[in-house]
Amino acid sequence: MAVLDLVAPLERFYGPLPTPPTDLFRYYVWEALSTQTTPARRDAAYAALHRVPALTPDSIFRAPRGKLTEAVACAGPYASQRLHALLAGAEHFRRRPRLGELARGALWPARRALAALPRVGDAGVHRLLLFGGDHRIMPVDRDIVRLCVRLGIDSGTLHPTGAARRVRRAVERALPDDVVAFKRTALYLRHHAAQTCTHEPHCHVCPIATHCPAAPGGSEDPPLRAAPGRS
């Protein structure tokens, strides 16, 4: 089974998911609002910032602090940390106005430039590269590692050194050279890992349980193979 054959049942199960912004700074805002909250709360906070309006580096600094605080609070707990990340990120973007252009350029300079953003880990940098820079790179965080270990993509424990890199390479090899396919896969795997294949998995409702070696009655064959022409 190819990785896109796993994504298709996830798409049918969850339905259309909100499409992340393609503008680099707006995606940075989306990312900051997504941490440790639900998609519905993230979307509410993003919409509130849009109404302020405060979705550019300059407009965030011009916006009244009270309105910013109120908008960010729609994302739930950790509002002060989110607001600090947004303000620090906006200042970074203001100092580097060509950051969006750099993000769409060569991969390694783009990665170095985005890694300097405040409060952005490796997975966050990779999501910025994918959604804000259109690079064919698969973001892998702890939730994705957990999901892929259960699917048999990585044979190590849930938190081995280098697991994220191994999982990323395995998924990338299994995808066609199409950034749309990368974005769709990243979106649905992350959502599934956060909503159903959680720390205590809900295998009884999982739409891909039959392909999962960790699920009762699931297949013992790893579900991913390299896409044609990939190695």
**What is the mean pLDDT for each group of 10 consecutive residues in the chain (231 residues)?**
82 94 95 90 96 96 94 94 93 94 95 90 94 95 90 64 84 92 95 94 94 81 56 53
Q: Determine the pLDDT at residue 12.
A: 95
Closest C-alpha to 147, from 176, 211, 190: 190
Tokens coding 180: 């749309």
Question: Does residue 11 sit in the same domain as residue 29?
Answer: no
Question: Does residue 83 sit in the same domain as residue 145?
Answer: no
Rg (CA), the chain: 18
Q: Determine the pLDDT at residue 228.
A: 53
Is 207 domain-assigned? yes
**Domain of 50?**
24-120
Is 128 domain-assigned? no
Q: Determine the pLDDT at residue 135.
A: 97
CA diameter of the chain: 57
Q: Supply the DSSP symbol for 211.
A: G
Q: Determine the pLDDT at residue 225.
A: 53
Number of CB atoms found within 10 A of residue 180's CB: 10
Q: Determine the pLDDT at residue 89.
A: 94
Question: Does residue 147 sit in the same domain as residue 200?
Answer: yes
| Total number of domains in the chain | 2
Q: Which CATH number goes with the domain that contains 49?
A: 1.10.340
Question: Does residue 97 sit in the same domain as residue 153?
Answer: no
Q: What's the rounded Cα separation, in Å, for the pair 59 and 146? A: 38
Question: Does residue 116 sit in the same domain as residue 49?
Answer: yes
Classify the phi-psi angles of 55: left when phi > 0, otherwise alpha if psi is within -120 to 50, otherwise beta.
Answer: alpha
Is 225 domain-assigned? no
- Helices in the chain by DSSP H: which ranges? 3-14, 24-34, 39-51, 57-62, 65-73, 79-95, 99-103, 107-115, 122-127, 142-150, 163-174, 179-195
Question: Does residue 77 sit in the same domain as residue 164?
Answer: no
